[in-house]
Amino acid sequence: PPPGAGAGVDFVDGAVTIAANGDPAGQDGCGANTYSLSASMSARGRYMRHADADVLILPQEGALEVRTELGDFRVEPCELALVQRGTVFQVNLAEGTQSARGYFLENFGDLFVVPELGPIGISGGLAHPRHFLAPQARYEETEGDFELVSKFLGQLFRSPLTHSPFDVVAWYGNLVPHKYDMRLFAALNTVTYDHPDPSINTVLSSYTSSPGLANIDFVIFPPRWMAAEGTFRPPWFHRNCMSELMGLLHGTYDAKPDSFQPGASSIHNRFTPHGPDGGAVRAGTDADTSVPERYSGSLAFMWETRLAWHPSEHALAHMDDPAYPACWSSVERRFDASAAPPAAEAYAFPPDARR
């Protein structure tokens, strides 16, 4: 996890880029960042406008007050805020909060949408549109010495202002900043055996013209029930054509209970083998899968993109963990080619279970 912010550090100064891909000028790809702050942007009369990307903010510690031209909202850990590109905004510490840190994503590509649900239907699965909340309207007319920080074509610019840009009296439309409480996500899972694809946990997607290859999928692993029988329940070992960046907002991640801390990040670029650590493998192997298990007290997320993540120089210099592969060193070799194969059940449930 990144260190806490020193005194007087706001959202702009406390932002650190972990990795990125694509091209802001071509409106393709994304950037992954963390933030640590101990001061509000309002304390310095500072505002920001991102011309390249929609900004997805995920608080990990400390509540935020996000102010925009179209209104304000309070965003706490387990909630997200999404501010569309071109919108002037301000990130402040919420009342009673002394410091905060978390993650934020810059989406250079197509606008985020709730994913197409297909045979799941639209009745209530995954993230429901009714749970995305528009900001509380607020208007101010204040003159003074202010600063606007703009990000344009990947570069930061600043310019003086003589009045607050939050002087919008009214607005019309549906492209509006919003927040979403991830505790309202209706998680779906198998109730027989094996694993659905992790895409079943997608909250938001930025699509491309190639079906199945998203510019970015925002996926969460929320509290949920695991009921699959005869199944290794933790995430499997795999390689993926997509590139994954994982983060942990709180609790422990079921695939790496011994080696992944809240606030940390991991990157597995396309076709890089990865999977659960030794502790997760032992727990998953020894579990009695005839008993449903409740996963609680945790919220992990993944930013999955069709483009490879390019780690920043800062990340390589200050966040690299050379010992990371050791999390798999305690995974036991369990296959014995000389042993008789176990009896296999041809059905998800034995025939007498249908009587």
Binding annotation:
238, 244, 253, 274
State the number of CA atoms in the 13 A half-sphere of 271 facing the CB: 1
Specify the residue for token string 């942007």: 41
**DSSP of 1-43:** -PPPP-TT--TTTTEEEEEEEEETTTTEEEEEEEEEESS-GGG
Given a contact cutoff of 8 angstroms between Cβ atoms, the answer to whether 33 and 103 are in contact is yes
Binding annotation for Fe cation:
238, 244, 274
Given a contact cutoff of 8 angstroms between Cβ atoms, the answer to whether 43 and 24 are in contact is no
As a three-state string, the secondary structure of 64-115 is EEEEECCEEEEECCCEEEEECCCCEEEEEECCCCCCEEEEEEEECCCCCECC
Among candidate residues 195, 250, 310, 318, the one labeled active-site is: 195
SS3 content of the chain, % helix, strand, coil (to 5): 10, 35, 50
Question: What gap in Å lies between CA 19 and CA 308, rounded to an integer?
Answer: 9
195 is a catalytic site residue: yes
Overall residue count recorded for the chain in this entry: 355
Phi first, then psi: what are they for 226, rounded to 5°? -115, 120
Q: Does residue 202 sit in helix, strand or coil?
A: strand
Specify the residue for token string 């027989």: 192
Given a contact cutoff of 8 angstroms between Cβ atoms, the answer to whether 56 and 34 are in contact is no
Buried residues in 92-115 as b, exposed as e (16+ CB within 10 A): bbbeebebbbbbbbbbbbbebebb
The candidate with the shortest Cα–Cα distance to 285, out of 245, 247, 335, is 335
Binding annotation for homogentisate:
253, 274
Q: Give catalytic residues, as residue numbers.
A: 195
